[in-house]
């Protein structure tokens, strides 16, 4: 099934519990695959708590998904990851000695299985891996706008005044779903609308175009683990 077909189906069933249950049943292999990637081992329905958590995350994703923001399966995979990480952290708080064989597989020797700190190290290592994967995905999405990470390093604002203007522009765009849609459909920054609304210098907007687009993509995409590195002054991204 194509991405557009899946997104359309989600939009049609998100308020119908019977159809949601049918969709979840169809995608149990996908849910199990997402769970196994995080757990590092084979899991079975009816036996592993992680699968119950993952299924609840999948249903949460169905009900929360916005079809204008990308691919449902990618979105649901991120929701499942978040819920499982929350679950593992909760498990750590309730036990000072946790065997990571439960999460990593029997042959893992990198972690001290007798230490309560081992799960925290595991979680941090996983978070690092998720950031790496998100950066790869971000690189692919930016390439659709002919933007590279090298470009971003070159055009990122260096002066406080320029940085503030870019933050103001990003905040303005995020408050205008119509402009966000325009950016994603037409692959360009609506410079005239920005200048008219904010009365900012055209030169700064043009020079910072790639940086502003990247901030908008991160803020509106499935980039939970790298979003903390973006500052848009009070517009929902730290």
pTM of the model: 0.52
Mean pLDDT of the chain: 80
Tens of pLDDT along 110-164? 444 344 455 556 556 666 676 777 788 888 889 999 999 888 888 888 888 999 9
Quote the pLDDT of residue 137: 83
The residues spanned by each domain of the chain are 3-143, 149-229
Quote the pLDDT of residue 41: 81
Count other Cβ atoms within 10 Å, centred on residue 96: 10
Quote the pLDDT of residue 123: 57
Enumerate long-range contacts of 47-54, CB under 8 Å, 24 or more apart. 49/87, 50/84, 50/87, 53/83, 53/84, 53/87, 54/80, 54/83, 54/84
Tens of pLDDT along 43-98? 888 888 889 999 999 999 999 998 776 888 888 998 998 888 888 877 655 444 33
- Quick one: tokens of 28? 């149990």
Comparing 75 with 224, the larger pLDDT belongs to 75
Are 105 and 40 in contact by the 8 Å Cβ rule? The answer is yes
């Amino acid at each position: 099934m194509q991405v557009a077909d899946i997104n359309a189906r989600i939009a049609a069933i998100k308020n119908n519990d019977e159809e949601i249950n049918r969709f979840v049943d169809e995608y149990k292999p996908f849910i199990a695959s997402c769970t196994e990637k995080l757990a590092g081992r084979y899991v079975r329905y009816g036996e592993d708590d992680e699968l119950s958590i993952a299924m609840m995350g999948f249903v949460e994703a169905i009900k929360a998904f916005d079809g204008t923001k990308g691919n449902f399966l990618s979105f649901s995979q991120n929701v499942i990851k978040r819920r499982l990480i929350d679950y593992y952290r909760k498990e750590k708080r309730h036990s000072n000695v946790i065997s990571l064989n439960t999460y990593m597989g029997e042959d893992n020797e990198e972690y001290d299985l007798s230490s309560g700190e081992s799960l925290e190290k595991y979680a941090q290592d996983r978070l690092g891996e998720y950031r790496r994967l998100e950066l790869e995905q971000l690189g692919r999405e930016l390439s659709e706008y002919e933007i590279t990470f090298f470009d971003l390093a070159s055009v990122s604002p260096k002066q406080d005044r320029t940085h503030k203007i870019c933050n103001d522009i990003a905040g303005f765009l995020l408050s205008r779903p119509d402009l966000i849609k325009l950016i994603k459909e037409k692959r360009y920054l609506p410079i005239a609308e920005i200048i008219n609304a904010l009365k900012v210098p055209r030169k700064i907007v043009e020079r910072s175009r790639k940086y502003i687009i990247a901030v908008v993509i991160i803020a509106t995409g499935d980039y939970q683990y790298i979003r903390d590195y973006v500052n848009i002054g009070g517009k929902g991204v730290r």
